[in-house]
Amino acid sequence: MSGYFTELFTGTKSLAIGLGITIKAFFQPVVTLQYPYETLEMKPRFRGHIQLTQDEETGESKCIVCGMCQKACPTGCITVAGKKPEGSKKKALTRYILNFTTCSLCGQCVESCKPNAIEFSKDYNLASFDKNDFIFDLLKRLKEKS
Amino acid sequence: MLLDTIKKELAAVALSTEEEVSAEDLAATETPETVERAEGEAPAEAPEGKEEEKPRPPIMETDYRAKGFHLDVQVAPDKVVEAAKILYKENFFIEAVTGVDWLKEEEFEVVYDYNNMAELCRVVVRTRVPRSTPQLPTISEVYAGANWHERETHDFFGIEFMGHPDLSPLLLPEDADFHPLLKDYTP
Amino acid sequence: MSEFALSQTQETFVMNLGPQHPATHGVLRVKLTMDGEYVVRAEPVLGYIHRMHEKMGENRTWAKFLPNTGRMDYLHALAYNHGHVMAVERAAGIEVPERAEYLRVITTELNRISSHLLWFGAFVLDLGGFTPLLYAFDDREQILDLLEGVTGSRLTYCYYRFGGVYNDVEDDFLVGTKAFISRLRSRLPMYHGLVTKNIILIKRLKDIGPIPPDMVTRYGATGPVARGSGFNFDLRKNEPYSVYPEFDFDIPVYTECDSMARYMVRMDEMEQSMRIIEQAIDKLPEGPVKAKKVPKTLKPPAGDYYCAVEAARGSFGVRIVSDGTNTPYRLKLRSPTYSNLSLFEEASEGMLLADALALMGSLDLVIPEIDR
Amino acid sequence: MNSLFSADGLTGLVFLGTIATTVVGAIIATNSVRLIRAVVGLAICFIGVAALYYFLNSPFVALMEMLIYVGAVCVTIAFAIMLAEPHPEKQVGKNNALAGVASLSVGAMLFWGLTVLARNTNWKAAVSVANDGSMREVGKSLLTTYSMVFELISVVLLVAIIGALVLARQGREKA
Amino acid sequence: MNLLNISNNLETYLIIGAFLFGMGFYGLLQRRTLIGMLIAAELILSGASINFMAFNRFLAPDPTVGQIFTLFIMAIAAAEASIALSIVIAVYRNYRSIDTEDIVELKG
Amino acid sequence: MGTESVQPSLIQSVVKLTQLDKLLGLGRANSLWPMTFGLACCAIEMMATGASRFDLARFGAEVFRPSPRQCDVMIVAGTINHKMAPAVKTLYDQMPEPKWVIAMGNCAISGGPFVFKGQYGIVEGADKFLPVDVYVPGCPPRPEALIEGILHLEEKITGSRRWPRVEAK
Amino acid sequence: MNPIPEVLRLVIYLTCLILFAALNAAYLVWVERKGAGHIQRRIGPKEVGPFGLLQPLADGIKLMTKQLFLPAGVDPVLFKVAPILLLVPAVMSFVTIPFSETLVARDINLGLLMIFAFASVNVLGVLIGGWASNNKYAVISAARAVSQNVAYEIPMLITVITMVMVTQTMNLNEIVMQQPNIFKWYVFRFTASPLMPVAFLIFFICSLAETNRAPFDLAEAESELIAGAYTEYPGMGFGVFFMGEYANIVIGCAVTTILFLGGWQCPFGLAPGWWWFLAKLYLLIWTVVWIRWTYPRVQFYALLNLSWKVLIPISLVNLLLTGAMIKVF
């Protein structure tokens, strides 16, 4: 019988404690980040889709079309093409297609890229009505950017 | 030592080198065939790796640091239940059951991983069944947990566990009639 | 009674729980045979998110399988990363620098806390309490921020590499981690006040969903499920890997075998993980984070290798069968919840539906890891 | 002639509605194939009856009717149907036309007979009324004149509760 | 007779009572299931109650009597319903049917 | 649960833009109730979107209904495999019109990282059997991306965007 | 007596009451979502109108224009009747609730009994709705709702009987008038029974359980039974159920206010009026919301045990004690 009342008492007390915790939270400031108005700055290592880096001098891509990224990609979402312009030894990039819809953001392409020609972008809020929007022509994007 | 006890007990069910079955099994790991297989898939390094294993005894203590398990036991297909019973008696629990499709040797290898909670002792029990008639008894009576593992193995390889209560596809769709982890599987 | 009556007295009906059901945390389907509110038989049906990880393992190089590991158990992705890289390192004989091992421990333990926090929230959500979930998410976001700063992703990390980790950490990560730990330390009593000591929750968990020790052995359950049934079994202690032997921490074990015991194991584990992280940060050595001699294309010698780690849900094992080429011949992934869930059918027999779901919640299911 | 929009006229309209509710409810209750619909019909009928009691100057009994019949009896019956739902298709087949006609005629004859009786009898109103029949009076007589019956009824209810428990439990054990 | 004034007329209630009684009787005969019969029985009881209430209102010298009777009928009906339904459940458990024709063999 | 075949975009085809429809559109766009329906990793991010930090509730879209009957938008968050696809289709069919689909994450868009030659298990994209309205890529997408997806959907329903566009830096 | 204004008055009151019920349902949802948001340290609806105040409107528009269809296998008639069976009694109960001394649609002497008579009907709505849905979850939910309602009706009615013994009337307005200031509120009327605050708690807990609110929301247990009895209801059917549910909450809280907290009376005896009633009412409703977002759901047996082993004995003790006190003093 005494157990009955003890349980009744401790039970009621535990319920009251619970109410106290939630009401305290009610008067605490909200933690919400109001997205379209407030945004987070992405961390330097944030992995968005990849993009081509810009050579500071020429403004062109640093890519040497070695194809390492294409080889390293587990899902084969990168297609690189290049050709040698006349009178040049090095290949120049002509096409860099990223099919972001199959990318798994593992970072192996960036890791494998010796000349640091690709990096992760900070595009964290992509959405579209058409899935072909996510097949990026990175070279074109680079040109638009500069 | 748990390892020694279990080794002693398992020696009774392990494939003995004198028996015919084991001769067949040894034949499977003979160099010529291995080379033949290696030619197909791995020209350079495979033979070396295999040659170390050539005189493989049916029950063998392995280097835990290199392999990740302590005891490697090869048994005949009809002895898996007995082995499971011995291990159950020593409070081992089953970690996984899986198959390996040795296409070149026309055999399936079924691997049982056991572990012990009280003392670290990982035991691998393996058996081989011919690819044409992949049948062996179920251990789900001893280890209820093996039920799903065996079903999964049946899903992936088509290996039949005789006496298993329900071998219908578990991970694949209910009407699946293919075994995707077979090496010669093409969708 | 007449035979006719005997054969006809089964007052049962079949009910499908899932594949879309709030309590199954994804796409598990449970075929329930019910007698009114009582579960006569609960047969889980798997495979609704089977994603062919094992087949993919055979199809791609060792390194290309890395992103997959983070997607099996997305809640404790780093443990799966860890299991895979450790197995391959064992097979290929790669030594890992000490700093990398420490970083692995710090990040994987952080990830474990985040996994347990999510489980905590989701479990209470199963029991009908919504608010603790959001409090837990609030704390979890802090961890995700920390880990995102290091690994670049929030959930499906792909951070460990053969022979080390992807990149080194900065000091602000370590400072942030310490700050987070002190924050969580002050939050845990709040969780206990709001949830653990709540009479309603105690009534729902105490003596509900017993999993006796022999059932654990027969089904091969591991992790908090085993520890809640009195087994002092944690691979971090039993099969010390990485640099875990360096740290002083306890394995919480409860012998009650009920849902409450499993709940308490996980709550205590968070505290132990915090201890580990603190020690690891204090002891963190300088040095490289990647082994020097990792060949470009890995070709581990033929043979089979096994490696297991303690993930948040139990021991995750990777069995590699190598034939010496640059792709695995067979890659078997032993996922803990697969075994843990298989005992559900036996354990839930004769339970009330709500209790069975509490039991299921206490098993901490992550379906893609079960289905692989 | 009363206007439809006077208070009396409205009352009359409401009363007609009440009768309709009762009658429709009763018809649904006896004629629907699915039992659950019969229960809903019964509930509707009881709501009508409760309204009739209200018209009979007895709101207390009307509300009790709602509370006990609609809120308790109907719910219990519906609950029992949930536990023991007969197969509807089987029921359809069993509805023997002859038996239906026979029972309908029996029912109709009873109805006719009682109606005739009601219309032809010369009812004599009471000369004096002892009290206003309010709830207070009802309570008083319950605890004075009818206290014995009241006690007996409570015993009956107690026995019913225990009996129901025993019966339901026994069936369960056998199953 | 003014249709809008029938609420103040004893006969109206008696006829409704008779109707419910007749319907209940019809249902009792026509229904094949125990629960259906119980529903019909409830209708009969209602018909009786209405009569009580009507007499109480229009004829009785003490207008509490009819009300008390009706209350008693309600109590009895409630008791009857609970007992009958538990019997139904018990019968259903044993015979998997509440159809009266299926329950002819009266052995446990 | 039964299945009903509902003609897709029945409502959309009839509707012409009038003032009333604008109001209806506003009402619908601001009360998008998603289904409690997570498949894999992305589901956790979906939960995170509903959680305090990002708070999907601000747009009135936090009412996650577990029953498809009361849902307006199905967020396909995760990989759909062949075993699951019929169930997803059923759930979609059970939703009353008007209804929308958001494909969240790369798996739902195209099968994501699980596409390889000779794969036997998964459906390569939810748009193979569902009319997807908005695609949110990522593996998994950040919660902001899902909010952006919801805003895109509202834009599609009302025809204009009320919220500022955020350019990633 | 002038009949026409009386009729008009009734019509106006009924319209107002239905509007009140509907608005309450709509804005209680808003309060619930907003309250839940802040309890969880987030904002809640905000973008739709100022402070998200147009959110209920948007939801209403959406629900009303949702495609209406009958899911396969449901009983078409009962499926449509059930929401009405839930909503109508709830709205009817509003008729007798005194918002102030004069602001009452129909001041009935048996007001208290009438509310309980109507409240007992709404469980039939859930039961029929669940059954008609032809869905196993809905059926289980309906069964749960019934057993829960039956179990909690007993302590509730016992408490009400105790209150009637104390107040000597069932007229709600009279009950309110007996509590002119805070010391005479029945919740603190220790002279009537020392267990009055407990009686208040019991009544409040029971009204939570009767309205299927958390932590007693077993019938609608989302993580177990999808959406319980409402699983198959699309669009407005669901909306009506929702309205009925919230109307029931309002009634439960209103009755608690009237019985224990002095209804429209001011705590200090000053300027009584409907604003006090609404303030108390919404405070109680807020408590209901607060409780919902704090606790997990109770276990089925714990629920029944609470009723049979705790609430019923205590309320019986209270009944006897009150009787004795009345006899003695």
Nearest by CB to residue C220, choosing from B48, B93, B171, is: B93
Residues in chain F with pLDDT < 50? Answer: 1-6, 8, 15
Question: How many Å apart are CA F70 and CA G234, to the nearest integer?
Answer: 5
Q: Suggest the residue from D37, D111, D137, D162 to mutate for an interface test with chain E (most E CBs closer than 10 A).
A: D111
Å between A16 CA and nearest CA of chain F: 24
Q: Is D174 on the interface with C (CB under 8 A)?
A: yes
Calculate mean pLDDT across residues G272-299. 85
Q: For position E82, what pLDDT does the model report?
A: 84
Reported ipTM: 0.83
Nearest-Cα distance to chain D for E105, in Å, is 17
Q: Tell me which H or E stretch contains C117.
A: helix C98-126
Separation between Cα atoms, residue C151 and residue A47, nearest integer Å: 8
In chain F, residues 1-60 whose CB comes closer than 8 Å to chain G: 1-4, 6, 11, 23-24, 26-31, 36, 51-53, 55, 57-60
- Angle in degrees, 0-180, between the axes of helices G3-39 and G274-292, rounded to the nearest 10: 40
Q: Is the CB of C5 less than 8 angstroms away from the CB of E105?
A: no
Contact, C164 vs C100, CB < 8 A? yes
Q: What is the pLDDT of residue C8?
A: 37
Q: What whole-number percentage of chain G has pLDDT above 90?
A: 0
- Name the least confident of A2-16, C207-221, D76-90: D76-90
The answer for E 79-108 residues in CB contact with D (under 8 A) is 79-83, 85-94, 97-99, 101, 108
pLDDT classification of E105: cutoffs 50, 70, 90: low
C residues 169-208 closer than 8 Å to G (CB)? 194-195, 198, 200-201, 203-204, 208
**How long a stretch of residues is chain A?**
146
Cα separation, E25 vs C85, whole angstroms: 82
Distance from CA of C245 to the nearest CA of B (A): 15
E106 in a structural domain: no
pLDDT of residue C41: 85
- Which residues are F73's β-sheet partners? F34, F100
What percentage of chain C exceeds 70 in pLDDT?
Answer: 96
Question: The domain at B2-26+56-162 falls in which architecture?
Answer: 2-Layer Sandwich (3.30)
Contact A32 G43 (CB under 8 A): yes
pLDDT score of B111 more than 80: yes
Per-residue pLDDT at D3: 55
pLDDT averaged over every residue in chain D: 78
Query: Is residue C333 within 8 Å of C72, Cβ to Cβ?
Result: yes
Nearest to A22 among G37, G294, G310 (CB): G294
- The alpha carbon torsion through B15, B19, B20, B24 (nearest 10 deg) reads 40
Q: Is the pLDDT score of C354 beyond 70? A: yes
| The pLDDT of residue A97 is above 50 | yes
Q: Report the pLDDT value the prediction gives residue F13, as an integer from 0 to 100.
A: 53
A87 touches F: beta carbon within 8 Å: no
**Cβ atoms E56, D55 nearer than 8 A:** no
Residue G265 to residues G50, G98, G101, G175, G186, Cα–Cα distance (Å): 33, 11, 9, 11, 12
User: In 10 A of CB G72, how many CB atoms?
Assistant: 12
- Residues of chain F found within 8 Å of residue C133, distances taken between Cβ atoms: 47, 51
Structure tokens at C177: 């981690």
Instruction: For residue A129, name the pLDDT band (cuts at 50, 70, 90).
Output: confident
d(CA E60, CA A31): 73
A 10 A CB-CB count for C229 gives 26
What per-residue confidence (pLDDT) applies to C6? Answer: 34
pLDDT (mean) for C86-94: 86
Residue B166, by phi and psi: left (phi above 0), alpha (psi -120 to 50) or beta?
beta
Residue by residue, DSSP assigns A17-78 as HHHHHHHHHHHSPP----TTTS-PPPPTT---SEEEPBPTTT-SB------HHHHH-SS--E
Q: Is the pLDDT of residue C42 over 80?
A: yes
In CATH, the number for domain A50-145 is 3.30.70.3270
H/E stretch holding G249 reads: helix G235-260
Q: Contacts of residue A133 in chain F, CB cutoff 8 Å?
A: 135
Structural domain for E57, as ranges: 3-95
> What chains are in contact with D, requiring at least 3 Cβ pairs below 8 Å?
C, E, G
Residues G58-90: pLDDT tens digits? 888 888 888 777 777 777 777 888 888 888 888
Q: Do G113 and D37 touch (CB under 8 A)?
A: no
Provide, as residue numbers in chain G, all residues whose Cβ is less than 8 Å from the Cβ of A15: 295
Q: Is residue D25 scored above 80 in pLDDT?
A: yes
**Tell me: the pLDDT tens digits for G163-214?**
888 888 888 888 888 887 777 787 777 777 778 888 888 888 888 888 888 7
**Domain boundaries of chain A, sorted by first residue:** 1-31, 50-145
pLDDT at A92 over 70: yes
A123 interfacial to chain F (CB closer than 8 Å): yes
- pLDDT band with cut points at 50, 70 and 90 for residue B48: very low
Q: How many residues in chain F?
A: 169
DSSP G298: P
| Average pLDDT for chain C | 85
Q: Is B32 on the interface with F (CB under 8 A)?
A: no
CB B145 within 8 A of CB C215: no
Angle at B11 (CA atoms; ends C305, B76), nearest 5 degrees: 70
Report pLDDT for B52: 45
For residue A24, give the chain C residue with the closest CA: C190
- pLDDT, residue C7, reads 34
Q: Out of B57-61, C345-349, G166-170, G304-308, pick the least confident.
A: B57-61
Q: What is the pLDDT of residue F58?
A: 85
Structure confidence by residue, pLDDT tens digits, C139-168: 888 888 888 888 888 888 888 888 888 888
Please report the pLDDT score of residue G212 as a whole number: 82
Measured between alpha carbons, how far is A100 from A134 in angstroms, rounded to an integer?
5
Measured distance CA(C170)–CA(C226) in Å, rounded? 37
Return the structure tokens found at C345: 């059918």
Task: Give me the pLDDT at residue C221, please.
Answer: 87
Q: What is the per-residue pLDDT for D5?
A: 57
Q: Is G41 on the interface with F (CB under 8 A)?
A: yes
Q: Which phi and psi (to 5°) does residue A52 adopt?
A: -85, 140
**D151 at E interface, C-beta within 8 A:** no
B144 vs C218: CB contact, 8 Å cut-off?
Answer: yes
Cα C28 from chain centroid (whole Å) = 16
| pLDDT surpassing 60 at residue C203 | yes
Kindly state the DSSP code that residue D67 receives in the 8-state scheme: I
Asked if C11 lies within 8 A of E94 by C-beta distance, the reply is no
CATH code at E49?
1.10.287.3510
Q: Give the confidence band of C5 by pLDDT, cuts at 50, 70, 90.
A: very low
Contact C340, B145 (CB under 8 A): no
pLDDT at position D170 is 65
Q: Per-domain residue ranges for chain D?
A: 1-70, 134-175
Q: Are the C-beta atoms of residues F121 and C50 closer than 8 Å to each other?
A: yes
CA C184 – CA E36 distance, rounded (Å) = 62
Rounded average pLDDT over G297-306: 83
The model's pTM is 0.86
**Rounded distance, CA E76 to CA E42, Å?**
11
Say yes or no: C21 contacts chain G, CB-CB below 8 A. yes
**Of C115-124, C225-234, F7-16, minimum mean pLDDT range:** F7-16
Would you call D84 an interface residue with chain E, using a CB distance cutoff of 8 Å? yes
> What pLDDT digit, counting tens, does each position of A63-76 carry?
888 888 888 888 88
| Residue C47 to residue B172, Cβ atoms within 8 A | yes
Residue with tokens 């009401």: A23
Average the pLDDT over each of C357-361, D99-103, F157-161 and give the range with the smallest value.
D99-103
Of the candidates B73, B94, B77, B96, the residue with the CA atom closest to the CA atom of residue B143 = B94
F135:A35 CB<8 A: no
Nearest to D78 by CA among F59, G85, E76: G85
Q: What does the block give as tokens for A44? A: 């330097």
Contact between A22 and A90 (Cβ < 8 Å): no
Q: Which of G42, G58, G231 sits opposite F26 (nearest CB)?
A: G58
Q: Are D4 and G3 in contact (CB under 8 A)?
A: no
**Chains C and G touching, counted as 3 or more CB pairs less than 8 Å apart:** yes
**Which residues of chain A does C167 touch, with a Cβ-Cβ cutoff of 8 Å?**
45
Please report whether residue E102 resides in a domain. no
Burial category of G80 from C-beta neighbours within 10 Å (exposed 0-12, middle 13-18, buried 19 and up): middle
What is the CB neighbour count within 10 angstroms for residue F22?
A: 13
pLDDT band at E96 (very low <50, low <70, confident <90, very high): low
Domain coordinates of chain B in residue numbers? 2-26+56-162
Spatial separation of the C-alpha atoms in residues E97 and G167, rounded to whole Å: 50
What span, in angstroms and rounded, lies between the C-alpha atoms of C253 and C230? 6
Nearest to E88 by CA among D76, D35, D84, D89: D84
Residue length, chain G?
329
The burial class, CB within 10 Å (0-12 / 13-18 / 19+), for G15 is exposed
Query: pLDDT of G9-64, one tens digit each?
Result: 777 877 887 888 778 878 888 888 888 888 888 888 888 878 878 888 888 888 88
Region C114-138: what's the mean pLDDT? Answer: 88
Give the mean pLDDT of C184-200: 89
Q: What is the pLDDT of residues B151-161, one digit of tens each?
A: 888 888 888 88
Count of the separate structural domains present in chain E: 1
F142: distance to nearest CA of chain C, Å? 8
G chain contacts of residue F163, beta-carbon cutoff 8 Å: 47
With an 8 Å Cβ cutoff, is A37 touching chain F?
yes
Residue-level pLDDT at C4: 35
Q: Is A121 helix (H, G, I), strand (E, B) or coil?
A: coil
Computed on alpha carbons and rounded to an integer, the radius of gyration of chain G in Å comes to: 20
CA–CA gap between residue C92 and residue B20 (Å, rounded): 35
Whether residue E103 lies inside any domain: the answer is no
